[in-house]
Amino acid sequence: MQKIPYLRELGVTAVELMPVFQFDAQENNYWGYMPLSFFALHRQYGSTQQSDRLLNEFRAMVKALHQADIEVILDVVYNHTCEGDENGPTYGFRGIDNTTFYLLADDRRYYRNDAGTGNVLHTANRYVRGMVLDSLRYWANEMHVDGFRFDLASVFTRRSDGSIDLQDAPIISAIRSDPDLAHVRLIAESWDISSYQLGRTFPGIT
């Protein structure tokens, strides 16, 4: 918030925040790109450790930026989590239902690694897809952000067997048709480790 006058002086009209999701600070988080929770703010980014005050700090920042006519875009990571490969660590999703949350290799023992982080979130699964949509709605409706930049968005085209669906990937269709997300900016990074989609358009997502 202290930088807002400087940003206005520069003529900035939007800021994109690197990932703000909670991560395990004891693990290699790579600037927040190893998310632990898609609904929680990383506690070390705020001036308070109390959850309600941390949320209010974030909302106050967004409100102040909006008052300065500056939009807020979040860099979001829905292509993988911090749970790594078959060697762990295990935090939650793997323990709840491994095959629901992650894309596994043919032998069901090893993880697909199209994100280059040890695992790939199974966004073709309707429950995982629902969780991602709930997270997007939360940040848009409750935290009032103006848009999202999707890290390694080509992972969204992965079917349950790991093959690529360029015609009608379910999660892309769900985001595109969600009324709560109709007003937000959507930016998709065009590649993953084994798929490069630069120049290909998905209706509703630039």
Active centre residues (catalytic): 151, 189
Mark out the alpha helices in the chain (DSSP H runs): 4-10, 51-67, 93-101, 126-137, 170-177
Q: Rounded to an integer, what distance in angstroms lies between the CA atom of residue 145 and that of residue 180? A: 12
3-class secondary structure, 6:
helix
Per the CB < 8 A criterion, the answer to whether 117 and 34 are in contact is: yes
Q: Rounded to an integer, what distance in angstroms lies between the CA atom of residue 147 and that of residue 126? A: 23
Candidates 172, 177, 183, 52; CA nearest to 123 is 172
Q: Rounded to an integer, what distance in angstroms lies between the CA atom of residue 120 and that of residue 19? A: 17
3-class secondary structure, 1:
coil
